[in-house]
Amino acid sequence: MSTQFAEETIEKSVNFAPVCRSEELEPGWGEALLLDGAQVALFRTEANSFYAASHHCPTTGAKVMARGILGGTMVDGRPVETVACPLHKEVYRLDNGTCLNADSPALPIHELVEADGQLWLQQTR
């Protein structure tokens, strides 16, 4: 599939917006993004997986999640990639947002797709 075809297909079929090239994200780190008024945290793990989540900590609403600490753990015998809030260290799954170490609301996760080195974020509005 050509890059142009992939981009046109993703953009038209499911309302995704191009956000950045995947190589622009540093492995093991996050970056904050403002898209249509929504603050989003983008993450690239050390294993080169890409995730998007709300930049707001679900526990306090603090806009800090892009500065969270990436890591991983085992859940039901399977490896799960995680982000810990940098303030009080509550740990959230990056695949579904579930909080693993407290009775806290889930971290909202956004659909993020990589195609030919381009990251596409599902628009929230």
> Where does this chain bind ligand FES (CB under 6 A)?
57, 59-60, 62, 85, 87-88, 90
Closer Cβ to ligand FES, 65 or 112, answer by number? 65
Q: In what order do the strands lie in the sheet with 78-84?
A: 69-75, 78-84, 91-93
Question: Which has the closest alpha carbon to 90: 71, 118, 111?
Answer: 71
Q: Cβ of residue 14: shortest distance to ligand FES, in angstroms? A: 30
- Residues with Cβ within 8 Å of 106's Cβ and at least 6 positions away in sequence, in order, are 58, 92, 96, 97, 98, 99
Closer Cβ to ligand FES, 57 or 112, answer by number? 57
Closer Cβ to ligand FES, 90 or 119, answer by number? 90
* Residues 100 and 94: beta-carbon distance below 8 Å: no
Q: Cβ of residue 94: shortest distance to ligand FES, in angstroms? A: 15
Q: Cβ of residue 55: shortest distance to ligand FES, in angstroms? A: 11
